[in-house]
Structure 1
Amino acid sequence: MALACDLSLPAGVFMPTILWGCLLGTLFGELVRYVVTDPASKTGVPIGAYALVGATAALAGVFRGSISLVVIMLEGTGHVDYLLPLLIGVAVANLAGAGFGALLGCEGSFYDLQLAAARVPFLRHHSAPETAEDASSCPLIDRVSATVAEVMSRDPVCLNRVESVARIVRVLRTNSHNGFPVVDGTEELSLENVGRSRGDSVRKGKVVGLILRSQLMVLLARRAFVEVAPSVPASMPAARASAGGRAIRDFLNIFCRERVAASSSASDEDTGSEEIFPAFSGLGIDELRKYYDTLDADMRTFHHRHSHGDRTVSVSNAALDRIGLTDSELANYKCDVSAFMKIAPLTVNERCSVWRAANYLIDVGLRHLPVVDNGNEVVGMLTRGDLCGCAGDGEE
C-alpha cells in the first residue's frame, strides 16, 4: 500500500486496502478455526466471511466510510446475512481510526492526510454559525461578521484587454498567480505605493474577464500577437468602423465578411480582393475558426501535455524561457486577451460575507474569485488559500 501511495503509477489505494483487509480477515478467521477445538465446528468457520468483513473494515478505517461501504459490499456479494457483522466491523474501524488519529494528531481520512502533506488548500462544507459561541468552535473563521475584505489578497495584478507582450512576460515572471483579472481601464498604481517589492504596476479598472496563466503561456507560445490595436481600413464604411474597438475576434470576423463581399462585388470589374484587403489575402472565416479552435484545444490540454504530475513545471520561468521570445516581439507586439478570457466571471463585493464567498468557491468549483467594490472595480482576489489561511486549515 505504501508503494501504491508514493509511486507515480495509476494504481490507487482502493484495491491495496481491500487486499490487506482481506488478508487480515482471513488470518483472523484461521485463528478462530485454530482455537475452536470441536472438529465439527472447525469445518463450519466461514473464512470468506471474515475476509469480507476485514476488507470492509479496512476501507472504513482508511477512508472513514460507513453505510455506503456496507451497501456496496452487500450489493457486490449478495449475502444479506452478513449485514450485522459488516456494520460491527465498520463501526469498530471508524472508532479505532478516530481514536488513534486523535492520539497521533492526524485526524481525518487518508485523503485528508494526503491533502495536508501536499499543502493543498481544501475547503469543507460548513454551516454558517448563528451565534458567536457556534463560531468559536468552527474551523473556518472565528467571527460571525467577517467579510471578504478582511481575508482577500489586496491589489491584484490585472491585465488590460489588449496587453503588451513585454508586460505579460514580466507579470508571469514576477508572480506565481494562476489567474489574472482583465479590466477595462488604464489607471496604474506603483507597487512601491502599495508595499510590494515587484517591479511592476497594478492596473485598476472595472472587471470584464479572467484569464488563466496557462492561457497566457499558450498565447505567447503560439505567437497570437498584434502589432498595434486593430484599425479599420479607410475603404470600410463608417457604419462598420465601430468594430475597431471590439475584441479582435469580432473585428476579424467582420473583416472577413467585408473581404468576401468585396471579392464577390469586384469580380465583375476583374479586380482581385488582394488589392482591397492585401493584409488579409487568403484568410477566410474557416481559417480563422480553425486557428481559434487550435488555440482553444492547446489551452484546454496545456497541463495534460506539460505537467508531468506537477502543474508548476509547465508555467515556471524555465518554461517561459523555452518559448524563445525575441526582443523585437517583446517591444513591438501586443496580445488581445479579450478573445480568450472568461467573460463576466463570478465576482463578490468586498462587503460580502465570508460564508457566502466560501460557498461560491466550494459549490461552483471556482479557483479564483475576483473581489470588486461598489463601482465594479477590482480591489482584491479571493482563493481557497486565503480562506484556509484564515481558518488555519492549510497554507496560503
Structure 2
Amino acid sequence: MDEKGVKEEKVASILEEARSKDVPYQRVLSSMCTRPHPLAIEAHRMFIETNLGDKVIFPGTAELEEKAVRMMGEMVNFSEVSGYITTGGTESNVQALRAARNMSDIQYPNVIVPESAHFSFDKIADVLRIEVRKAPLDDEFRADVGEVENMVDEKTLAIVGIAGTTEHGQIDPISALGKIALDNGIFFHVDAAFGGFVIPFLEKKYEFGFEIKGVDSITMDPHKMGLSTIPAGGLLFRDKSFIKALKVHTPYLTTKDQYSFVGTRSGAAVASAFAVMKSLGREGYRKIVRRCIDLTRGLMDELGDIGVQPLIRPPMNVVTLDVAGERVKERLYDKGWITSVTRGGALRLVIMPHVTEEVLDDFIHDLKSSI
C-alpha cells in the first residue's frame, strides 16, 4: 500500500482498465450466472451497507430475507420452509449436510451422491469429515437408483439428488431417491442450485421439491437463473429442527444466535433476490425460462444440420456436444468464446438469459470452423 492515496479519478481509471479485461457476458456460454436484472442491481445498491450477520441493526433487511425464503419455498411447493439466503450453492450444500450430521448420532457417516454431483461435495467430504460415496449414472446421466440403493448401509447419513446437474442440466429421479431415503430413515437433500429457478417454469412438469415426502432440504440459487446479484444462494428446510441444528451462540452481537455458515452476510444480495422475484413473479420467470429453452432447442436443431449432436436431449438450458471438447474449446477461445468441457470430454454450453439468437448465430459460425 502506498503511503499516500491517489485521486479518485486515478483509482477509477485503474478499475476501468481491470474491468475491460473481463469477458463480456455475450461471449460467455459456460457460466450458470448472468447479468442481473436491472431492479436487482438497484436493490443491491440501496442495501449495500447492510449486514444480516446482525439482524437487530437491520430488521427491515431481515424481513426481506424471510419473504424471499417464503417465495422460494412456494416455488418448490412448501411455503412454511425454514432457511436463509446463503452465498451460493456450495454453502447451501455444506449447511444442509452439516445440519443432517448434527441431528444424527452416526459415527463415521457416509453420504451418497451421484457421480454428476457438484464439486462442493468434495469440499464437504474434507470440511465435515464425511465419506462421500459417488453412485454411477445411467445412460441419460441421471443417478442410477439401483446403485444408490445398493450403497446404503447403517452408516449412511444422507442421500443427495441433483435437480439440474452442472454438466448436463439433467434431473435425477428425485421421487425414487426420496423413497429410498424415506424407507431407510435417511436425510434427503436436493441440490437444485441451477434447476430451482428453471424446473418450476418448464412446460413439462418434473417433481423435485417438497411435494416429494422424502425431501428434507433443497439448495436453489437466486444468483443463477433467478437473475439476482451475486452472492445469493438459498437453503430451504422442510423441518425447523434442521436449521436449529446449525445454531451457534454469538454473545457479543445484538443477535444472540446465528444459523448461517458465514458471520457477516450481505443484505444487499438478499434485497436483490427479493426485488427480482417480487417484480417478475411466476409469469416473468416463465417467459425467461421458456425463451432460454427455445434458444437451446433451436441451437440443437441447427447443430444437428451440420452433424453435431448433443449427448442427450436436455430438459433444461444446458447442452453437451459430442465433439472433441478440449480442442474445440481452445479454438473457440481464440475466437473470443468462453465454453467449457465436461469430465467426459464433451463441449458444454449453458444458454443463459444474456444469450440472444444473434449471439448463437455467430457462435455456430465459429463452431463450424473449430470442429
Category of TM-score, reference length = shorter chain? under 0.3
Question: What TM-score does the superposition give when structure 1 sets the normalisation length?
Answer: 0.20
Structure that is richer in helix per residue: 1
Larger radius of gyration: 1
Question: What TM-score does the superposition give when structure 2 sets the normalisation length?
Answer: 0.21
